[in-house]
Amino acid sequence: MTDRYSVIGRPINHTKSPLIHGLFAEVTDQDLTYGAIEGSLDGFEDQVLCFRDEGGRGMNITAPFKLRAYELANERSERATLAKASNALKFEHGKIYAENFDGIGLLRDIEHNLQVPLAGRNVLVLGAGGAVRGAVLPFLAAGPARLVIANRDLTKARALAAEVNDDRLHVCGYDALVGQDFDLVINATSASLTGELPPVATAVFGHALLAYELAYGKGLTPFLRLAREAGVMRLADGVGMLVEQAAEAFEWWRGVRPETRPVIDRLTVPLE
């Protein structure tokens, strides 16, 4: 019997996940189908349970349901627990297992695909949502000198720092970035989804080797344009992260890790 997987989110019409996992299944010779489900704000949990009860083996979770997916699970990984959010579920042995591959996918794209190691670097992340919470442990394991998370809601950011309890992790508001510059700047806010610029000055890019935009397929976003104007030579959007986190989920479900480079190349949209 062909195994069934799906992604669920709202809205979902933009998703590339069925294409990505279809390509993964083809190159790894896995017998599976992968669909997309428009999530219901009132009935998300029922939709997940219905998919499982009808034979579904696993799901990817995208906005705005990652926190609710985490709560629905019976078993949660360390990464998902820290993030309090899940972007992948697995249905096995009568349980719902939750994982969060956003952070490890982002780190792999930066270090492996873009060849920018975090070790010894000063790293700035704008935003403190679920993807950032999932990235903190993988990022710190990569050995940065300093990891700064800037966010409008300091309560949320400080709670994250208290949970991690690592001297290299610092949180602050955007105004506290004045006079600081970084080797790597990552925009994990939702600003680029609406064509807006996060409240950050060009000075933060003073020594930046890379400016990274988590949003993908948006071209030269206001954040990336600001980085380029500040002199940053390397710009990237989140298509590599998208594919790498998908590969992590695919391996978690199927036990085989697909090659990601051909898929990244296929989905990459020029930033100009």
Q: Is 268 annotated as a binding residue?
A: no
> Residues 215-221: what's their mean pLDDT?
89
Asked if 224 and 263 sit in the same domain, the reply is no
On whether 120 is known to bind a ligand per the annotation, the reply is: no
Check whether residue 219 and residue 114 sit in a common domain: yes
Residue 209 has pLDDT above 90, yes or no: yes
Angle at alpha carbon of residue 36, lines to 52 and 189, rounded to 5°: 110
Whether 272 is in a domain gets the answer: no
Stretch 117-127: mean pLDDT: 96
The verdict on 124 and 9 lying in the same domain is no
> Which listed residue (66, 84, 90, 156) is catalytic?
66
Residue 84: which domain range? 3-100+240-267
Let me know whether 77 and 119 are in one domain: no
Question: Tell me: the pLDDT tens digits for 129-147?
Answer: 878 888 898 999 999 999 9
Q: Is 84 marked active-site? A: no
31-67 residue pLDDT tens: 999 999 999 999 999 999 999 999 999 999 998 999 9
Inside any domain, residue 54: yes
CATH number of the domain that 170 lies in? 3.40.50.720
Q: What is the CATH number of the domain that holds 85?
A: 3.40.50.10860
- Six-digit token string for 35: 């669909």
Q: Same domain for 162 and 54?
A: no
Number of domains into which the chain is organized: 2
Tell whether 127 is in a known binding site: yes
Taking the model in full, what pTM does it have? 0.92
Q: Tell me, what's the pLDDT at 269?
A: 85
Whether 40 and 83 share a structural domain: yes
Q: Given this model, what pLDDT does residue 153 score?
A: 85
